[in-house]
A and B are shown apart, each in its own frame.
Chain A
Amino acid sequence: MAKILGAVTTSHVPAIGNAIAKGLQDDPYWKPFFKGWEGVHQWLAQTKPDVAVVVYNDHGLQFFLDKLPTFAVGAAPEYRNADEGWGLPTLPPYRGNTDLSWHMIESLVADEFDITTCQEMVVDHAFTLPLKLMWPALDACPVATVPVAVNTVQHPLPTPTRCYKFGRALGRAIASYPEDLKVVLLGTGGLSHQLDGPRAGFINKAFDALCMEKLVGDPEALTRYSIDDLVEQAGTQGVEVINWLIARAALGGTVREVHRNYHIPISNTASGIMVLANAA
């Protein structure tokens, strides 16, 4: 049977891609962030996952506002990165696992989550950069992938309660796959930041700390917030923390916190990195 090893959660801002392209890992501005990945690398070296299920939000590469699914799951043999319009280098293609994808899709729909199934899907920085950060020395991503895209762009967004339940269903979908695969969940985005309006530059260190604390031991506590609460506390783009909640909910009850890093700022964003290992 497939086994969920744990979850890696991280910010995904495009500026990380530029920093990697320019080799700024040791630059004083970027070093606290890139150093924060060493704990993730150690855990990946020990656990050696086969598959990454990536919970992220698309920023207008795959999905436009003409048709915007709340939850979409990839079922393609390969996922390509493409030009997003802001000058990021395009990263090499990602291998899919269509058998696992379709199993997850079957299981999710049977579990009453009527997701959108995507047999072709381009993936943006929110998918590509976290994988690049996990395996920085390799040209191509070494694991198969399943993209899970969540609408954090156009309100109404799925409520945190719905996201928590979706994450639980995602966990059941993966854990019931008959093949012996080691799976890591990724939850990307956040933490607090706001790009738009006179409130641009808003960051909330205390709320970020609370979110990370609750994700470890009491993720259900985050379901008490509404989307408007999250916008108020974490900023218009800080709502991406729902991607973290989904990834965490997929793990089940008890997890062990293996690694945590928090740093302000990268670009306009408070950066958080966590590794949560599933209880065996």
Chain B
Amino acid sequence: MGSRPRYAHRDIPGTTIFDGVQAQKGYALNKMCYSFNSAENRAAFVADEEAYCKKYGLNAEQRTAIKERDVLGLIAAGGNVYYLAKFAGIFGLSVQDLGALQTGMSVEAFKQKLLDAAK
């Protein structure tokens, strides 16, 4: 897997910057999610998730995170949120659902947090 970039990013709590390290680590995973731009590919994934993950060469960590719908796990495994959103789209999940899953809040509480940001 990729070496540390020469220019390390600032440590921002709760944040993974999608840089060269993440892009290398997550390449297969993001490539699979990129394929979900096509309805035919989305249907093929739903028909046989395991086979579809295998076809794209996902590693064990990525396959487990896909299977468990573990968004934080997918990010740790190199997933980029724009590509992960295409995966989430298969199940009709919005970015607010993703936000709730990542923060451990209910969707209602997460939406309230966003409304509260206006204050």
B85 interfacial by beta-carbon distance below 8 Å: yes
How many Å lie between the Cα of A199 and that of B11 in the bound state?
Answer: 13
User: Could you tell me if B99 and A270 are in contact, using CB atoms closer than 8 angstroms?
Assistant: no
In the bound complex, residues from chain B placing their C-beta under 8 Å from that of A203 are 114, 117
- Whole-angstrom distance from the CB of A215 to the nearest CB of chain B? 21
In the bound complex, residues from chain A placing their C-beta under 8 Å from that of B19 are 154-156
User: Could you tell me if B81 and A195 are in contact, using CB atoms closer than 8 angstroms?
Assistant: yes
| Closest A residue, CB atoms, query B105 | A201
- Whole-angstrom distance from the CB of A204 to the nearest CB of chain B? 8
The stretch of A83-91, A169-177, A252-260 in contact with B is A83-91
- Whole-angstrom distance from the CB of A151 to the nearest CB of chain B? 11
How many Å lie between the Cα of A192 and that of B94 in the bound state?
Answer: 18
Interface residues on A, range: 35 or more
- For B12, give its contact among A61, A86, A155, A231 (CB under 8 Å): A231
Tell me whether chain A's interface is mostly helix, strand or loop, or mixed.
loop
In the bound complex, residues from chain A placing their C-beta under 8 Å from that of B13 are 198-199
How many Å lie between the Cα of A57 and that of B105 in the bound state?
Answer: 29
- Whole-angstrom distance from the CB of B109 to the nearest CB of chain A? 10
User: Could you tell me if B80 and A154 are in contact, using CB atoms closer than 8 angstroms?
Assistant: yes
| Closest A residue, CB atoms, query B20 | A155
B34 interfacial by beta-carbon distance below 8 Å: yes
How many Å lie between the Cα of A194 and that of B81 in the bound state?
Answer: 10
How many Å lie between the Cα of A227 and that of B16 in the bound state?
Answer: 14
A142 interfacial by beta-carbon distance below 8 Å: no
| Given A198-B14, A231-B12, A264-B118, A156:B7 Cβ within 8 A | yes
- Whole-angstrom distance from the CB of A123 to the nearest CB of chain B? 13
How many Å lie between the Cα of A264 and that of B117 in the bound state?
Answer: 7
Number of interface residues of B (CB under 8 A): 49
B95 interfacial by beta-carbon distance below 8 Å: yes
A268 interfacial by beta-carbon distance below 8 Å: yes
- Whole-angstrom distance from the CB of B119 to the nearest CB of chain A? 9
- For A60, give its contact among B38, B42, B86, B118 (CB under 8 Å): B86
User: Could you tell me if A60 and B83 are in contact, using CB atoms closer than 8 angstroms?
Assistant: yes
- Whole-angstrom distance from the CB of B18 to the nearest CB of chain A? 6
- For A197, give its contact among B30, B72, B92 (CB under 8 Å): B72
A153 interfacial by beta-carbon distance below 8 Å: yes
In the bound complex, residues from chain B placing their C-beta under 8 Å from that of A264 are 114-115, 117-118
- Most central of B10, B99, B115, B118 by chain A CB within 10 Å: B99
B37 interfacial by beta-carbon distance below 8 Å: yes
In the bound complex, residues from chain A placing their C-beta under 8 Å from that of B117 are 201, 203, 205, 264-265, 270
Knowing that A201-B117, A236-B81 touch, tell me 8 more A-B residue pairs with CB under 8 angstroms.
A66-B31, A154-B80, A196-B84, A200-B110, A231-B12, A236-B17, A264-B118, A268-B99
Residues of B within 8 A of A (CB): 7, 9-10, 12-20, 23, 27, 30-31, 33-34, 36-39, 42, 72, 75, 80-86, 88-90, 92, 94-96, 98-99, 102-103, 110, 113-115, 117-118
6 closest A-B pairs by CB: A199-B14, A86-B89, A85-B86, A198-B14, A203-B117, A264-B118
Residues of A within 8 A of B (CB): 13, 15, 59-61, 64-66, 82-87, 153-156, 194-203, 205, 228, 231-232, 236-237, 263-265, 267-268, 270
Can you pick out 20 interface pairs between chain A and chain B where the beta carbons lie within 8 Å of each other? A15-B94, A59-B85, A60-B80, A83-B37, A85-B36, A86-B88, A86-B89, A156-B7, A195-B95, A199-B14, A200-B110, A201-B103, A201-B110, A205-B118, A228-B12, A263-B118, A264-B114, A264-B115, A264-B118, A265-B114
